[in-house]
Amino acid sequence: MKRLPVLGELEAEIMGIVWRSAPVTVKDVAARLSRERAYNTVQTTLDRLYRKFLLSREKESHAFVYTPRINRAEYHRQLLASVVGELLPKDREPVLAAFVEMAGDADLQNLERLERLIRAKRKIERGRP
């Protein structure tokens, strides 16, 4: 699996806008940013995201229209899998402990969700739906 790029602050904000509002133009994105940015900055960042294979674009009239190549959940899943995949074979316990700690710190209900996901994965591994 090719490792997905970690997004910078502006890239992450722009991807959030694209994920919520696609299809979008540079003008659409610039209007939705949390703070004003130069048109060229937004255009360059969208082009960078396109070159990183996170966005698709089609020319409509005189402007590009951008759509995501990957949805938000899949981006985060693949990014986490690539990072954790590099660490797990070497030393699993600290990585798994940190993951559980972070999940619990964010929201105690996350631990219950995590337990449900583990039970579901075990059922699948045992061949029971």
Locate the domains of the chain by residue range.
Answer: 9-68, 72-125
Q: How far apart are CA 45 and CA 78, in angstroms?
A: 21
Q: Model confidence at 118, in pLDDT bands (50, 70, 90)? A: confident
Residue 126, pLDDT score? 83
DSSP state of 126: T
* Entry pTM: 0.73
Closest CA to 50 of 33, 34, 67: 67
For residue range 15-53, list pLDDT tens digits in order.
999 999 999 999 999 999 999 999 999 999 999 999 999
Q: How far is CA 31 from the centre of its chain?
A: 22
Residue 125, pLDDT score? 85
CATH 1.10.3210.10 applies to domain 9-68? no
